[in-house]
Amino acid sequence: MRGFALATAVAALLSAGIAQAAQTTDADFLDAKDISHVTGQQIFTHICQGCHMPDGKGAVGAGHYPALADNPKLAAAAYPTVMVVNGRGGMPAFGRQLSDAQVADVVNYVRTHFGNHYADTLKPEDVKPFRPPADNSEED
């Protein structure tokens, strides 16, 4: 359990550092000053691409970061939703940091970019059932 907590803390710090560096070049993100109105693309840019790479092709090195590009596992919106909200393995959970709308936005972005062409849209109300019971009280 201690190793998991450490890994989660390191991932969060890395994500924060990557996001902070990326934010310095994203005027729209900085000007918004309201995290509740960022786009799925901005969430991907500031949180996800540090591991999954800007082109969504993933990486192998100090860890294994799966490709999101042309990924058949994204065909069902439930899979990336569970991963973003609850994490798994080396993937940290972002459910406590992102609202239902933000999770839906980033999942929809990934499912329609990087060679993915999944047309069905995840709605914010579709996200809530994937949260642990303690998180189901979240308001958007």
CATH number assigned to the domain comprising residue 39: 1.10.760.10
CA distance 117 to 127: 20
H helix or E strand, kind and range, residue 64: strand 64-65
Which is higher by pLDDT, 128 or 35? 128
**Cα 25 from Cα 125, distance rounded (Å):** 32
**By C-alpha distance, which of 55, 63, 129, 133 is closest to 92?**
63
Res. 37 pLDDT band, cuts 50 70 90 = confident
Residue 80 has what pLDDT? 97
> Which residues span the domain enclosing 9?
2-135
Reply yes or no on whether the pLDDT at 139 is more than 70: no
pTM here is: 0.73
Residue 140 resides in a domain: no
Number of structural domains in the chain: 1
In a domain, 67, yes or no: yes
What is the distance between the alpha carbons of residues 51 and 82, in angstroms, rounded to a whole number? 17
Asked, for residue 31, whether it belongs to a domain, the answer is yes
Least confident of 30-34, 70-74, 109-113, 129-133: 30-34
Task: Judge whether 115 lies within some domain.
Answer: yes
64 versus 69: the higher-pLDDT residue is: 69
Q: How far apart are CA 17 and CA 74, in angstroms?
A: 27
Lowest mean pLDDT among 30-44, 84-98, 117-131: 30-44
Percentage of the chain surpassing pLDDT 70? Answer: 69
How many Å apart are CA 25 and CA 28, to the nearest integer?
9
108-128: per-residue pLDDT in tens?
999 999 999 999 999 999 999
14 inside domain: yes
What b/e readout covers 101-124, taking b as 16+ CB neighbours within 10 angstroms? Answer: bbbbbbbbbbbebbebebeeebee
Query: Looking at the domain assignment, is residue 124 inside a domain?
Result: yes
Kindly indicate the confidence band of residue 26, based on its pLDDT and cuts at 50, 70 and 90. Answer: low
